């Protein structure tokens, strides 16, 4: 189990020891995220983890990635580019149930075997657009919608006449 965690893609950190802040430039060449597009090239992150108190850490970082996805309207292949900043509290997963602080921006994980990729992937799935379209008006641009749009006006004219 630990050997698997030590692989390059799933590197874990022990946040219970070591010097802070931890600054890293991360590159992930694959992702296990489902229901999003296909990763093009890699996910890159510029991140920093700082120690706030014994059980509280802070994550700050910028994440960039490009995915190949399909327009939900015309099914064309399109690129979805993500480039976002995150600022989260990190707490041990054992505190999740008893945490009454109501902080919505908190990431819970085992602090001794902290998997940074898991945090990055959660942030990517939160940032990924729910609606993927090649352009804002792709739906409206479809050939037969123009006709339907005119129908209500015709009805109103009929009523006036």
Give the interface with Zn ion as residue ranges (CB under 5 A).
71, 73-74, 134, 138
Q: Nearer Cβ to Zn ion, position 73 or 127?
A: 73
The phi and psi torsions of 57 (rounded to 5 degrees) equal -125, 160
Alpha carbon distance 32, 66 (integer Å): 15
Pair of tokens at residue 64: 């960039």
User: In whole angstroms, what separates CA 152 from the centre of its chain?
Assistant: 41
Rounded-to-integer distance, Cα 106 and Cα 96, Å: 9
Q: Smallest distance from the beta carbon of 64 to Zn ion, in angstroms?
A: 24
Token pair 């015309």 is at which residue? 74
DSSP element (H, E) containing 83: strand 77-92
Q: Output the smallest distance, CB 125 to Zn ion, in A.
A: 23
- Cβ distance to Zn ion smaller for residue 113 or 128: 128
Least separation in angstroms between CB 73 and Zn ion: 4
Q: Closer CB to Zn ion, residue 51 or residue 74?
A: 74
In angstroms, give the least distance from the CB of 136 to Zn ion. 10
Residue 108 vs 128, nearer CB to Zn ion: 128
């Amino acid at each position: 189990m630990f050997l698997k965690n030590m692989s390059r893609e799933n590197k874990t950190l022990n946040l219970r020891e070591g010097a802070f802040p931890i600054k890293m430039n991360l590159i992930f060449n694959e992702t296990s995220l489902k229901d999003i597009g296909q990763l093009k090239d890699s996910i890159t992150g510029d991140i920093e983890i700082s120690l706030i108190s014994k059980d509280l850490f802070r994550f700050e970082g910028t994440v960039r990635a490009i995915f190949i996805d399909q327009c939900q309207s015309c099914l064309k292949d399109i690129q979805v580019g993500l480039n976002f900043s995150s600022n989260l509290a990190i707490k041990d997963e054992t505190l999740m149930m008893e945490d009454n602080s109501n902080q919505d921006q908190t990431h819970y994980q085992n602090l001794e075997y902290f998997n940074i990729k898991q945090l990055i992937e959660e942030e990517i799935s939160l940032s990924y657009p729910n609606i993927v379209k090649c352009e804002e008006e792709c739906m409206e641009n479809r050939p037969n919608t123009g006709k339907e749009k005119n129908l209500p006006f015709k009805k109103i004219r009929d009523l006036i006449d």
